Structure 1
Amino acid sequence: MNKISCLLVVIAGFSGALRAEIDVDKAKEIYGPCAACHGQFGAGGKKGEYPRIAGQHARYTYEQLKNFQSQHRLNLPMFPYTKERELPEEDMKLVAAWLETVELPTRMPTFNGDEDALTRLNMVEKVMIVPRAEGDVAAGGKVYQEHCGGCHGRQGKGRGMFPMLVGQYTNYLKKQIDAYRRGERPHEDETASEGILYQVSEDEIRNVLAYLTTLQNAD
């Protein structure tokens, strides 16, 4: 078994352990303060100020919370919340596992006619449709599949330690890419001056982001 296969086995085992038993009520209680920024259903901010965390892989979310806590990934609003006295490791694992189970539909719901007003409102508010971004979709798809799909998945759904990109607001993705390229955010398995993000042009990035917005309704 090669190193990559071993890593994927470890990641799969870790993710399975995170999802094994989820105390939903406790997870929602832990998530409560997060909703102020990430939204009631974890959809993030429409202007790209906060990421979508609903449906994100538990392994990735947990690792980012740990990175915020250790300040390996600098984020001043997240640091005080993730300090050990406020968010213990077991709570990080629990909320990460629960968030992975949260599904946000990409199509408006069909009502049966027997829902009350609150149920209908919640059904509509959970819908997350990322607006189509400008760019050459075909060109973006070629760059993505050649350089990004191996880690983030051919449909952008991520896997293990590699985050889901599809369904994320375009402005947030662009902000993070810019942070990587400025060396302000560490990119896993890459040094500060290597990796695909430092080799592609602004036009190629725009095209990739446009391509990702076409995948949100893909099976």
Structure 2
Amino acid sequence: MPRPIILIYLSLLPALCPAFDFENGEEINEVCAGCHGEYGQGGKEGEYPRLAGMPSAFLAKQLHLFRDRLRPNLAMVEYVDHRQMPDQDIEDISKFLEQIVLKTKLPPADENSPGFNAYERLLASKRLMQIPRAPGDIENGRKIYRKECASCHGREGLGDNEKAVPMLAGQYTNYLWRQVKKYREKIRIHDEDAPEDELLSDFTDGELTDIFAYLSIVDD
């Protein structure tokens, strides 16, 4: 039985990224999967965010913040400390999660085709992720997003790997709302180069509702 393409690709990562210990990242992910899902897809409608496909530098930075208790999160306390999560482990799990690709739909398939592989299609279906459409004015959200957010988070909300800017499209809307609240209350810092940045406070809830409505359909 042929192996799914994504598994073949992941198996090549140790050679492609010699500083990245794939097996260690995979092992660490078994712990993360309890909340964030086997493929980093998150869970419980955004109680646990999507991690798959996020820039590894962004993920590593957040893990350092959790470990150093600079980003409060009770759910992470028992899993992230200097003994359980040394720098190399942070690097390995971050690179592992960055490489996971979650599709939003399966391609058409003919079950009667000689090449149809039901098991492979079942495995592929487990890696699907489609964010529910959020309420709001999508067109207005698109305009505001393109004007205010796209320069950092990308035209389609897919983030920027080189600049460690996280993707917003494909992330749970409930989770995004929780982070907005934390940014507004200064529990999290939106821009470390401008710690007094009030960007999230400058948006009205109505504007953010529309932005999130737009982001929720980008990957449709």
Alpha-carbon distance, 1:46 to partner = 4.1
| Letter aligned with residue 61 of structure 2 | E
Partner of 2:142: 141
Partner of 2:41: 43
Partner of 2:29: 31
Alpha-carbon distance, 1:79 to partner = 2.5
Partner of 1:77: 75
Q: How many residues align?
A: 197
| Letter aligned with residue 66 of structure 1 | H
| Letter aligned with residue 72 of structure 1 | L
Partner of 1:184: 187
Partner of 1:8: none
SS in 2 for 1:185: coil
- TM-score, normalised to structure 1, is 0.83
Alpha-carbon distance, 1:187 to partner = 1.8
Alpha-carbon distance, 1:62 to partner = 0.4
| RMSD (Å) for aligned C-alpha atoms | 1.8
SS in 1 for 2:47: coil
Q: Percent identity among equivalent residues? A: 37
**Separation in structure 2 between the aligned mates of residue 68 and residue 120 of structure 1, nearest angstrom:** 37
Is residue 164 of structure 2 the alignment partner of residue 161 of structure 1? yes
Alpha-carbon distance, 1:166 to partner = 0.8
Partner of 2:57: 59
Partner of 1:6: none
**Separation in structure 2 between the aligned mates of residue 112 and residue 30 of structure 1, nearest angstrom:** 37
Unpaired runs of 5+ residues, structure 1, are 1-18
**Separation in structure 2 between the aligned mates of residue 205 and residue 46 of structure 1, nearest angstrom:** 22
Unpaired runs of 5+ residues, structure 2, are 1-15
Partner of 1:20: 17
Alpha-carbon distance, 1:131 to partner = 1.1
| Letter aligned with residue 195 of structure 2 | T
Partner of 1:205: 208
Contact 1:109 1:123 in 2 (8 A): no
Partner of 2:104: 106
**Separation in structure 1 between the aligned mates of residue 33 and residue 133 of structure 2, nearest angstrom:** 25
**Separation in structure 1 between the aligned mates of residue 167 and residue 117 of structure 2, nearest angstrom:** 32
**Separation in structure 2 between the aligned mates of residue 216 and residue 48 of structure 1, nearest angstrom:** 17
Contact 2:29 2:93 in 1 (8 A): yes
- TM-score, normalised to structure 2, is 0.83
Partner of 2:130: 129
Is residue 144 of structure 2 the alignment partner of residue 152 of structure 1? no
**Separation in structure 1 between the aligned mates of residue 17 and residue 198 of structure 2, nearest angstrom:** 35
